[in-house]
Amino acid sequence: MPYTESMTSGPVFPREVCVIGGGGHVGLPLALTFADSGLKTVIYDTDARTVETIRRGIMPFAEEGAPELLRRVLDGGLLDVTETPERMSECRFLVLVIGTPVDEHLTPSFTALNRAIDSCANSLRDGQILILRSTIFPGISEHIQKDLTARGLDIRVAFCPERVAQGHSLREIRQLPQILSAFQPETLAAVRDLFARFAHEFIEMTPMEAELCKLMTNATRYIQFAIVNQFYTIARENGLDFNRILHGCRHKYPRMEGMPGPGFAAGPCLLKDTMQLAAFSRNSFPLGHSAMLVNEGLPARLVELAQRDLDLSQKVVGVLGMAFKAESDDPRDSLSYKLRNLLALETRRVLCTDPYVPDPTLVPVERVLEEADVLFLATPHRAYRELRIPEGKVLYDVWNWIASAPA
């Protein structure tokens, strides 16, 4: 029975869910999960090329388990894909999951969100529930609720943040407890029913609590990475092998179990969301800002540490891995590119490679291994685990990934 028929009052909608921004890294796995749960789902995305790719049954980016699922829900008639907003008027639930960047001042930019609401306005219908799924600045749910009401629309807003790790979304969407928030108990109950189609545990909060919860989660991870990256730099600057120290910290010592290893803390979320929290605290967030200095400064520290050993100016240098994290094809906000740009100023030539990132400036790994004198491991892809570094080449491996591979 379609979800909408179970509602005893209010308008009946022919479809259950429209995911606005449904072609994106968060929106698409979520839309596939809704459709896989038997809900008639519409993807609306303004990127016509992405829409066409999805419509043809092809995933526009790497996501575990998604290619098979996409074909299945398309064949089953549960998923429609469109680049225009009209179809959203048919849907009871609208799930908005577009990018929420910070601007050149590192403060949240609301342009995309405002534009999205404006461009959807003519397709909104009384009785719909708009679920915000993007990571948003605290207070934005209330702001959007007021905006819709001021437009004369009887639409209820909920905020249910996405918490999956990109690449593992389909598994995590079903496993993780869902954070749910809304302004009325009946809206909360409706979104709980919706997410109960695939999730099993719910945490209910006020929208403001949920907005802060999501930002604080990402800021915590960002700060944790910064702590260990700072420790790595301290050890290396004093001529010590940080991996030996890290092993001593963590080995069979429960209170240090969560300590990550060093490496690039990059990508489209962690820095951006730490800066959203900094903006919310009116730039009184010294931990967050310090974390930014450490994490964003790591590529420069690595270059400086290498320059202590070698005169890089005459060297050809190779960067292994350009995605922002391992096993991903996503180069958004990857610190590998920052490292490349720094090395370009300090060396004879830089060659970059990645097994997944579709970037025409990259070259095959074999060529990097052959031509580079010095190698930096920037992204610890599995493909590099067993990499044989040719005799005479110098490897800098902040992740301790290749160096720890079995001989």
Ligand X SMILES: NC(=O)c1ccc[n+]([C@@H]2O[C@H](COP(=O)([O-])OP(=O)(O)OC[C@H]3O[C@@H](n4cnc5c(N)ncnc54)[C@H](O)[C@@H]3O)[C@@H](O)[C@H]2O)c1
Positions that interact with ligand X (CB under 6 A): 20-21, 23-27, 44-47, 50, 97-100, 112, 115-116, 119, 134-135, 162, 164, 166, 268-269
Q: How far apart (Å, rounded) are the C-alpha atoms in residues 336 and 319?
A: 7
Cβ neighbors of 306 (< 8 A, separation 6 or more) are 312, 374, 376, 394, 396
Of 55, 57, 56, residue with least CA distance to 72: 57
Q: What values do phi and psi take at 150, rounded to 5?
A: -65, -25
Nearer to ligand X, 24 or 138 (CB): 24
Q: How far is the CB of 81 from ligand X (least distance, A)?
A: 11
- Determine how β-strand 129-132 pairs with β-strand 91-96: parallel
Q: Are 133 and 161 in contact (CB under 8 A)?
A: yes
CB nearer to ligand X: give 215 or 372: 215
Comparison of 156 and 214: residue with beta carbon closer to ligand X: 214
Least distance (Å) from ligand X to the CB of residue 82?
Answer: 10
Rounded to an integer, what distance in angstroms lies between the CA atom of residue 343 and that of residue 310?
Answer: 13
CA–CA separation, 30 and 56 (whole Å):
18
Residue 376 to residue 398: CA distance in whole angstroms: 8
Under 8 Å between Cβ of 63 and 32: no
Asked if 301 and 342 count as a contact pair (C-beta separation under 8 A), the reply is no
Q: How many residues does the chain have?
A: 407
Closest to ligand X by CB, 27 or 380: 27
Residue nearest to ligand X (CB): 24
What angle do helix axes 207-237 and 286-309 make, rounded to 10 degrees?
30
Q: Shortest gap between Cβ of 264 and ligand X (angstroms)?
A: 15
Taking the least distance from each CB to ligand X, the nearer of 50 and 145 is: 50
Closer CB to ligand X, 37 or 134, in the complex: 134
What's the CA gap between 83 and 23, in Å, rounded? Answer: 10
- State the minimum distance, in angstroms, from the CB of residue 131 to ligand X: 13
Q: Are 266 and 202 in contact (CB under 8 A)?
A: no
Angstrom distance (rounded) from CA 317 to CA 319: 7
Closer of 262 and 268 to ligand X (Cβ)? 268
Select 166 or 181, whichever has its Cβ closest to ligand X: 166
Least separation in angstroms between CB 386 and ligand X: 28
Helices of type H across 3-154: 27-36, 48-55, 66-75, 111-120, 140-150
Minimum CB distance to ligand X smaller for 66 or for 365: 66
Question: How far apart are CB 23 and ligand X at their closest, in Å?
Answer: 4
What is the DSSP-derived secondary structure letter of residue 107? Answer: S
CB of 42 to ligand X, least distance (A): 11
Dihedral through CA 199, CA 219, CA 207, CA 83, nearest 10?
Answer: -70
CB of 375 to ligand X, least distance (A): 28
Smallest distance, ligand X to C-beta of residue 274, A: 12
Main-chain dihedrals φ then ψ at residue 205, nearest 5 degrees = -145, 175
Minimum CB separation of residue 97 from ligand X in Å reads 5
Query: Which CB, 23 or 318, lies closer to ligand X?
Result: 23
Q: CB atoms < 10 A from the CB of 232, how many?
A: 25
